[in-house]
Amino acid sequence: MLNYRSLLFLVAAVSGCATTANSIHDWGKAKDYGRIRQELRKEPSQEVRVAAAVELGRANCSQSITDLVSLSRDPASEVRKEATSSLGHCAGAEVYNALIERTGDESQDVTRVAETVLRTWGAETVTFLLDAMSNRNYRVRAAAVKVLGTMSDEQVGPALMETATRDENSLVRREAVTALGVRNYAPAKKLLNALRNKDPSKEVALEAERALAKLGGTISDTKVLVLPLGSAEAALSRIGREAAEALSRRLIQGRLCQVLSARDDVSLNGPDLRKAALDEGVKAGADQVLYGTVERDRNRVTLTLILAPVGGGPVVQQEKASGYESDKDKLIEDLAKTFGSRYQ
């Protein structure tokens, strides 16, 4: 039977033989990476696993990839973070997939390291990131979108627009919208305008507004001539002019297009209203013309708007609103708001 002194000696001897983080670093300096990998098969402590992740990253050899990928899925976040960082010294499909997986890590520190590594590689990882945008984990999709937003590959813009429109998760859609603004992706202007008006998430709608502000200018380069709504009655003609002013304000405030104002003496109320409107559009050098009518039925009025291409073709948009003449101001404002939100 062991006495107390013998037991203490045995414990000390065992402790002295145990592998420590310092042991791992010593083996790393000696380039004895095989011994480090062998030690990982023995269920070592967290400190040893962290040290192993660091040294195997310095090895910069293909034999270390499998162990680093395994360590990147370790239960301890500190181990995952070091392994993820070390994977940045490697390359290949297995490495890319492991890093993309870590962009959805529950630890923000691990996620940040994975995103940083992917950005460092640049265009080399675009294909893998595009695939990651369909990952089942919404965190992975959001991180892939964020990293792609910093890359200049021509595939990225259309992919971000698709995600901003269709992804079921609002966080992913918001990241896509943010990325479109960061990339200064002008083709997304119309989409961003639609999202700021129609996305069910207030956060996405607000981010779309911010992205539009970054892009600047108007959403469309289309030149629209806004004409007074026509009527044979003087009182209704005044309403038609007020409606034209409200419509112009809405288009300008929303930066929806380039707005052209009608001449002061223009008054459209003849039988061939469309031809007269298109003729005015040609004179003004417009791409589209917005015109319409104001009609009365007893004490109610109906405002009809028509947006048509000057060069010919079908009507682009048509809106109609009816209400009491005494409520004309609200009627005009509601019509302008509806038109602006659906502007094509």
279 and 295, same domain (yes or no): yes
CA distance linking residue 301 with residue 294, whole number of Å: 7
Among the candidates 167, 184, 215, a domain finishes at 215
Q: Phi first, then psi: give them for residue 144, nearest 5 degrees.
A: -60, -40
In a domain, 258, yes or no: yes
Q: What is the structure's pLDDT at 212?
A: 87
Sorted by sequence, the CB contacts under 8 Å of residue 126 that are 6+ apart come out as: 148, 151, 153, 155, 156
Tell whether 237 and 185 lie within a shared domain: no
207 and 230, same domain (yes or no): no
* pLDDT value of residue 4: 44
> How does pLDDT run across 179-205, given as a tens digit for each residue?
999 888 989 988 998 898 889 999 999
Question: What local confidence, expressed as pLDDT, does residue 67 receive?
Answer: 94
| Domain interval for residue 315 | 223-342
Same domain membership, residue 126 and residue 184? yes
| Residue 37: inside a domain | yes
Question: Is residue 300 within 8 Å of residue 317, measured between CB atoms?
Answer: no
* Cβ count near 216 (within 10 Å): 10
DSSP labels, 200-212: S-HHHHHHHHHHH
H/E element holding 315? none
Query: Do residues 198 and 54 both lie within one domain?
Result: yes
**Same domain assignment for residues 118 and 234:** no
**C-alpha separations of 334 from 62, 280, 339 in Å:** 65, 26, 9
CA distance 163 to 207: 14
Structure tokens that stand for 1 in this block? 């039977």
| CATH number of the domain to which 296 belongs | 3.40.50.10070
The token pair at 114 is 């994975």
Give the amino acid at 343. Answer: Y
| Residue among 246, 173, 174 at smallest CA distance from 207 | 174
- Give residues with Cβ within 8 angstroms of 112, minimum separation 6: none
Q: Give me the residues of the chain with pLDDT under 70, please.
A: 1-17, 344
Q: How far is CA 78 from CA 18, 53, 73, 162, 183, in A?
A: 21, 10, 11, 35, 33
Asked which of 184, 215, 246 is the last residue of a domain, the reply is 215
CA distance readout (Å), 258 to 197, 219, 226, 254, 315: 20, 9, 10, 11, 19
Give me 283's structure tokens: 């004179």
Pinpoint the alpha helices (H) of 88-155: 93-102, 108-121, 126-132, 138-148
Q: Of 215, 231, 256, which one is at a domain's C-terminal end?
A: 215
Residue-level pLDDT at 261: 84
Token couple for 163? 């995600």
Q: Which residues lie below 8 Å from residue 140, measured CB to CB, with a gap of 6+?
A: 100, 101, 103, 104, 132
One domain for residues 238 and 200: no
Q: Look at the chain and report how many structural domains it folds into.
A: 2
Distance CA 36, CA 22 (A): 12
Q: State whether 145 and 200 are in the same domain.
A: yes
